[in-house]
A and B are shown apart, each in its own frame.
Chain A
Amino acid sequence: MIHLDVVMPRLFTEGTRDLQVRLDIQTGTLTALIGPSGSGKTTLLRLLAGLENPSKGRITVNEEVWLDKSNRVNLPPQQRSIGFVFQDTALFPNMTVLENIQFAARKDQPDFLQELISATGLNAFVNTRPAALSGGQRQRVALARALVRQPKLLLLDEPFAALDSTSSQQLRQVLLELHTRWGTTTLLVSHHAADVKALADRVVQLMQGRIQSDSLRDERLSTTPVAEPITRITYDEVLSLWVIETATTQIRSANPAWEQWKVGDLLQLSARKPDRNG
């Protein structure tokens, strides 16, 4: 379990006020942070990573104290078990894809490194420099690099922001597979409703540095209409999957029968509890 209770003065659109957030995050879940620009989403990620210093607060991760201002405990980012995917990817241009991922890798886990590269679909690019990659490929490298130390907490700051819809879908698929495989507790900042719907177990909405709403996936699913017209159908050649989108949902399948579906067809959605492992 991750406990976060922080206060930090910050400039918002309505002037300087305290960002004040109290949040408990279940281990192994994927929580999405949504909200308008300047609502404090990225600041919250940076506070968890130790890149910002709050005026008051406490952060514990699986009983390990990362921050306790009253007892003057504030672990630097190097001592926090985190993986951070920056919005601009922050890949090191002087290193190849492999060198970027290897940079922080433990020397005694070559198999894990290879597994990570395969899982993120980067085998063909290992000797390429980041400048020669597309936006989606760069985000996958950043994701692999962030996971290479097998962190307790994965922090994703708008990883889909600069991607087109195809790249975004591919990255979402990779992210979901990695999350299902390793169950890393993940906090995702996103503006895109599709990311949140496809990925998150829980959605926390921030407004002016405060939590405005907090809902679980089950609650959101129960309010989802049971039948919706299909708005878009695409075939992801890289992952060999059909991707069908409605106004509120995105679903994927390798089932060839999906080929006959078309835009406008009514998609019957069941509101059963999702089974991630099934």
Chain B
Amino acid sequence: MPIDWEPIWLTLRLASVTTILLLLIGVPLAGWLALSRFRLKPVVEALISLPLVLPPSVVGFYLLLTFSPTSWLGAWLLKTVDIQLVFSFEGLVVASLLYSLPFMVHPIQAGLENLPVSWREAAYTLGQSPTRTFWRVLLPNCKPALLTGIVLTFAHTIGEFGLVLMIGGNLPGQTRVASIAIYDEVEQLHFETAHAYAALLLGVSFAILLLVYAINKRVTV
């Protein structure tokens, strides 16, 4: 049976979009968590870490209720910006952002917290603002942590199943990512196709991880 490449491209697109967006959101968030003395910081940290302990189906279920067109938020999104987040690629991206957030934030936060405090203080005594210090001094010295965050986010998004199934279903070209396609093919007893998807996903994931760890080693050496 010829393999349908659509789920593979969709998976890579979802993982890429999620990783890029999470890099933009996660870096400032990790910086704030690492450097701020905000009293309610533990609350924010707990919320970010929730997906680590919750089953994907729980997160997916609540997101399904929240983004459903019958909910207040879902109806408002549909009416004002004409976006329906359930059973759509955009919905998968939003769900993946929330679900993979700790995988991006935690390594970067840990990397920043492990830097010597004197670097930050030296920059301040040289008249530099906390923002410039963060972008020019702290973040460039956190490259391994950044790469770890990118790899974990990308790999985690590729492997999502329960969350995708809950909020996205199985719409070809829209939400039918590789993990769903494998499950679908197995259900229909198309083991050869399922095997092709699985092997491809395995190969792509391994190649990406290998590449990033090789780069990471060069950065840290």
Contacts and interface: CB of A to CB of B under 8 A. Distances in A.
Contacts of B124: 50-51, 76-78
A84 B121 contact: yes
Interface residues of A, number: 24
Interface in A71-95: 76-80, 82-84, 86, 88, 90-94
B137 interface: yes
A254 interface: no
B24 interface: no
Nearest to B136: A103
Select the residue from B122, B124, B137 with max chain A CB neighbours within 10 A: B122
Main secondary structure on chain A at its contact with chain B?
A: loop
B121 A77 contact: yes
A139 to B, nearest CB: 13
B125 interface: yes
Most chain A CB within a 10 A radius of its CB, from B124, B125, B137, B140: B125
Contacts of A149: 126-127
B141 A51 contact: no
Interface string B84-116: 000000000000000000000000000000001
A156 to B, nearest CB: 12
Nearest to B139: A94
Contact of B137 (A76, A82, A94): A94
Interface in A116-153: 145-146, 148-149
Contacts of A51: 121, 124-125
A73 B127 CA distance: 18
A230 to B, nearest CB: 39
B71 interface: no
Interface string A95-108: 00000000110000
A88 B120 CA distance: 13
B141 A90 contact: no
A113 interface: no
Contact of A77 (B119, B125, B136): B125
A159 to B, nearest CB: 13
Contacts of A88: 116, 118
B127 A104 contact: yes
Contacts of B126: 103-104, 145-146, 148-149
Nearest to A155: B125
A86 B127 contact: no
A193 to B, nearest CB: 26
A240 B136 CA distance: 39
A49 B125 contact: yes
Contacts of B122: 84, 86, 90-92, 145
A104 B128 contact: yes
Nearest to B142: A94
A247 to B, nearest CB: 35
B125 A92 contact: no
Among A78, A79, A80, A83, the one with the most B-chain Cβ atoms within 10 Å of its Cβ is A78
18 contacts: A49-B125, A51-B121, A51-B124, A76-B124, A77-B121, A78-B124, A83-B125, A84-B121, A90-B116, A91-B122, A92-B119, A92-B141, A93-B141, A94-B140, A103-B126, A104-B127, A104-B128, A148-B126
Interface of A: 49-51, 76-80, 82-84, 86, 88, 90-94, 103-104, 145-146, 148-149
Nearest first, the 7 A-B pairs at minimum CB distance are: A104-B126, A90-B122, A90-B118, A84-B125, A94-B140, A77-B124, A86-B118
